[in-house]
Amino acid sequence: MATIKELSKREDLLSGGHRLCAGCGASIAVRQVLLGANAPVVAGSATGCLEVSTTAFPFTAWKTPFIHNAFENAAATISGVEAAYQALKRKGKIDKDVKFVAFGGDGGTYDIGLQSLSGAMERGHDMVYVCYDNEAYMNTGIQRSGATPFGAATTTSPAGKVRAGKPQQRKDLTQVIAAHNIPYVAQASVSHWKDLIEKAEKAFAVEGPAFLNVLAPCPRGWRIKSDETIEIAKIAVQTGFWPLYEVEDGEWKLNFKPKELKPIVDFLKPQGRFAHLFKPGNEHLLEEYQEQVNKNWAQLKKRCGVE
């Protein structure tokens, strides 16, 4: 792991001046991940906030080669770039070592892009896929996705008289990708920069595919202030809502082990998207929430061999 002093000397490959919102977790995730590449890198992105806000023609915020294709195919697109690299290197047309990374939001990763991602991971391309998970389709105005957590109000899972936000649990995508038995899979958060950059370094260093699922809060969608992004991401980790762990060559490792988890209400309460859960009569939902977090945490600890 590079020291913070060394990291400060590395060039930022995503420049300032892009059009992402103040406090957006996506750009923080992207910049931290790219710091971990420490080599020439070709980046790609799925359609979404990141892409529209960084590439409005005739401007670009990318200081490294970048490609956007469509919504559901960032993984397939970068797998094609990587295939071209392998071919041209074999034919002696390229002599440099180049890294490849695809970014997608949770909509482009958990939902519409899952097939493309699964295929690219299975084929074993030497690439990193990074999901900046802000837990809903934020670019189109906060619609629920497969990553939206239980109880969150979105514009397509609003809280109403008979519904308390999203009725389903989110899918556990990190474990889905871990089941592909690729060299490296990790879950990280923008709040834990050292952990995230270390994971990015590992992901870029392994030969073959790697996957990072990075919690990247969206102040607009989560109904928090723009200076609360890092704080809420930290609480997500401390409450066990978003555990930090990695799966390296099949070995599961918990990277953050508090003696005791903070109660889940510490994570839910500050966010407007969960406000309805705190109305009288919804106490059972908060209890259900805590039970679910406890269950998931216990299962993960077991997989990681932690007592």
For residue 72, give both structure tokens: 């559901």
- Exposed (0-12), middle (13-18) or buried (19+): which is 290, by Cβ within 10 Å? middle
The distance of closest approach from Cβ of residue 65 to other proteins in the complex, given in angstroms and rounded to an integer, is: 4
On the 0-12 / 13-18 / 19+ scale of CB atoms within 10 A, 99 is buried
- Residue 211 · residue 176 · CB < 8 Å: no
Name which of 294, 117, 147, 301 is nearest 209 in CA terms. 117
With H, G, I as helix, E, B as strand and everything else as coil, classify residue 302: helix
- SS3 of residue 126 by DSSP: coil
User: Whole-number minimum distance, CB 42 to other proteins, in Å?
Assistant: 5
Count of residues touching other proteins (by CB under 8 A): 46
Please list every residue from 3 through 42 that binds other proteins, using CB under 8 A: 40, 42
The token duo for 133 is: 């998970």
Question: Which of 86, 168, 169, 226 touches other proteins by CB under 8 A?
Answer: 86
- Name which position in 68, 192, 199, 273 contacts other proteins (CB under 8 A): 68
CB of 220 to other proteins, least distance (A): 19
- Asked if residues 247 and 178 have their Cβ atoms less than 8 Å apart, the reply is yes
Q: How far is the CB of 113 from other proteins (least distance, A)?
A: 10
With contacts defined by CB under 8 A, name the span among 56-64, 193-201, 248-256, 271-279 that binds other proteins.
Answer: 56-64
| The total number of residues written for the chain in this structure | 307
Stretch that binds other proteins, among 51-59, 245-253, 260-268, 280-288 (CB under 8 A): 51-59
Please, which residue, 66 or 289, has the CB nearer to other proteins? 66
What tokens does 201 get?
């370094």
Pairwise CA distance, residues 218 & 226, whole Å: 8
By CB under 8 A, is residue 76 in contact with other proteins?
yes
For residue 165, which of 181, 147, 150 has the smallest C-alpha distance? 150
Pick from 1, 84, 179, 298 the residue near other proteins by CB under 8 A.
84
Among 27, 77, 189, 213, the residue binding other proteins under the rule CB under 8 A is 77
Identify whether the C-beta of residue 195 lies closer than 8 Å to the C-beta of residue 213.
no
**How many other C-beta atoms are found inside a 10 Å radius of the C-beta of residue 70?**
15
Applying CB under 8 A, which of residues 78, 190, 196, 244 lies at the interface with other proteins? 78
Task: Tell me which residues in 108-127 interact with other proteins (CB under 8 A).
Answer: 115-116, 118-120, 122-123
**Binding residue for other proteins, selected from 15, 31, 65, 206, defined by CB under 8 A:** 65
Give the residues across from 185 on adjacent strands: 211, 247
Residue 211 makes contact with other proteins by CB under 8 A: no
CA distance 102 to 141: 23
- Min. distance of Cβ 222 from other proteins in angstroms? 24
226 binds other proteins (CB under 8 A): no
Binds other proteins (CB under 8 A): choice among 29, 33, 85, 300: 85
* Residue 56 within binding range of other proteins, rule CB under 8 A: yes
**Interacting residue ranges for other proteins, rule: CB under 8 A:** 40, 42, 44, 51-52, 55-58, 60, 62-70, 72-73, 76-88, 90-91, 94, 96, 98, 115-116, 118-120, 122-123
